[in-house]
Amino acid sequence: MEDHQAGRKEKAPRGKTILNPAKLARLIYPGYRFGKTSPEYALRLVELGVGGFCFYGGGAEEVREISRTLRAASATPLLIASDYENGAGQWVKGATELPSNMAIGASGSEDLARRKGEITALEAKALGVDWILAPVVDLACRPDNPIVNIRAFGAGRDLTSRLAGAYLSGVSAQGALSCLKHFPGHGDTAVDSHLALPELGRDLQELEQDDLKPFSALARRADSVMAGHLRVPSLDGSAPASLSGEIIGGLLRCKLGYGGLVLTDALNMKAVCGEGGAGVKALLAGADLLLCPEDPFVLFDELMRAVNEGEVKAAAVELALARQDLLVRKLSPYRVAPPAFDCVNCPEHRAFNAEAAPQCLAWATGDWDFRLQPGETVGYFEPLTPVSAWKGAAFVAELARLGLRVAPYVPGREMRLVSGVFSGPRAGQGGINLSREEKADLEKALVGAESSVITAFGSPFIFSGLANRPSAGLCAFCALEDFQRAAARALTGAVLAGGKLPVNVEVGK
């Protein structure tokens, strides 16, 4: 979206401006996508006066370099944010990717949650990123939710509050900013807001009993709260939460007593990008920061118009900037001596995954009744996936190292079936669990097996609705290689799967 604006000249609207235009620009945080956004375009945005950026992708060296370049050009302290929900390595090549929240939820360990926050913050700061747009505190209460799932700690409000609180402690201790998302709770929806506007069918009493609990428990410890793009008819019959004065101003600020910074979810998501003047509406609703608009220059013009026409009051802008300045001041001591760059993907951080994995594995079914024995031949299978495209290479290699003979699965040959299933949230995908075709392929394999185990390296809900029940089911909640190796060892009894399912999963018949 950025490069077509390359030759644009920014012009303020006609009329008397009652507020310094640079102050309005500081409310805008454009997206910066490595490989797509040009540095020259980003520097024009810095000249406009934006308050910061949200980074997506990149290699470790180039993320650090662009961060330095943009900061050096800015007249005000830039804040750089990114969605490092599972560590910087989730987005940045050469950084450490960490286990999903649901893996941590299965462990129930505050120590692991805190350490995840610490590692994420250390590497983010070394890369020049100040603000981690995490943790997700939505509840994974709905199997067909296409975007929350393993991003959540689990279905329980108390578990989520406890582990998210430990994560916040880790982030704060290492000098990075945090964000609770997606207010008022995105768990009980069945639509991906990257594609359309979801609807939450709960009333206030139901929300207060579950979805709002982590926000009310943790909001004053977090540095910011992200308003989600979802409609809640019981609270506001017209506007989504991110644009709703009843939800941001009424529920979050007044009823929950939250006085900190509120930012929108990305404004270029299809849930709201067709909404005319969405940025202005979000500001009027009580948001302080407008994240990733489709066109930052157009949004700036809309804000200028709204201020000049008296729709947006100068006092509201000043209050939003005051909240932003509080975060800048909080970071000031840490900017003097940021973490050394060699902490990024260092051996200590990589070792965390191997140490955490056994505690995070959880049986969905089968438990001790199923064990693979050294010397036996097993057939490995991934639904609708040819051998050349297997995602479970580390899993298969570890099974072989443990003494099993692993071959591609062939139904009807009295082979024990070992299936690896990889499914995880991906923006704009519209689904996370097995497709109808994948489920049919897996069920066909189960029918032809002497005995079977399904290992879920992602969503645990892939077990729901299977016509045939596997002999055993093991959940790893993420596809990290250390977790694949730990899953192989758990299937042979070499390690104990020490976790407990943090969600309700109905395994097939």
**Distance of CA 118 to CAs 60, 73, 177, 212, 429, Å?**
18, 29, 11, 25, 30
For the chain, the straight-line distance linking the first and the last C-alpha, in angstroms and rounded, comes to 48
**191 φψ region: left (φ > 0), alpha (ψ -120 to 50), beta (else):** beta
Residue 150: which of 426, 443, 429, 488 has the closest Cα?
Answer: 426
Tokens of 169: 């402690």
Q: Looking up tokens 């645990």, which residue turns up?
A: 460
Tokens of 481: 């290689």
Cα separation, 266 vs 76, whole angstroms: 23
User: Is 182 one of the catalytic residues?
Assistant: no
Half-sphere exposure of 40 (CA within 13 A, CB side): 6
Tokens of 342: 């060699």
Q: At what angle do helices 296-308 and 278-285 cross, to 10 degrees?
A: 60
Supply the Cα-derived Rg of the chain in whole angstroms. 24
Q: Are 394 and 475 in contact (CB under 8 A)?
A: no
Q: Return all residues near 238 (Cβ < 8 A) that are at least 6 apart.
A: none
Alpha helices in 226-346 (DSSP H): 245, 278-285, 296-308, 314-336
Q: Are 492 and 358 in contact (CB under 8 A)?
A: no
Q: Are 134 and 83 in contact (CB under 8 A)?
A: yes
Catalytic residue among 182, 194, 229, 349: 194
The four Cα atoms 190, 295, 65, 22 give a dihedral, to 10 degrees, of -120
User: Is 194 one of the catalytic residues?
Assistant: yes
Catalytic residue among 83, 130, 211, 265: 265
Q: Are 184 and 207 in contact (CB under 8 A)?
A: yes
Active site residues: 194, 265
